[in-house]
Amino acid sequence: MYIIAIAWLYVTFLMAATESSVTAGILTFVFYGLMPCGLLIWILGAPQRKRKKALLEEELSQPDGADSQAD
């Protein structure tokens, strides 16, 4: 997933470099590159964040000696 994001940012950087003014280049990079890429990574990362949160809550809810069972 990250290789696609890096490639997209590279393409939008090259698009921004060809703009006629610095302001247009910055706006092109931000609105065509950073914002969509950040949104995509945030949306696609939601399941991983949900799993981490569930594991952390499960870990915190267990008593100290519950994870090691004595025979």
pLDDT in tens, 28-58: 999 999 999 999 999 999 999 999 999 998 8
Give Cβ neighbours of residue 11 (< 8 Å, ≥ 6 apart).
33
Nearest to 42 by CA among 7, 5, 3: 5
Q: Answer whether residue 1 shows pLDDT above 80.
A: no
Q: What is the pTM of this model?
A: 0.69
Between CA 9 and CA 29 the distance in angstroms is 8
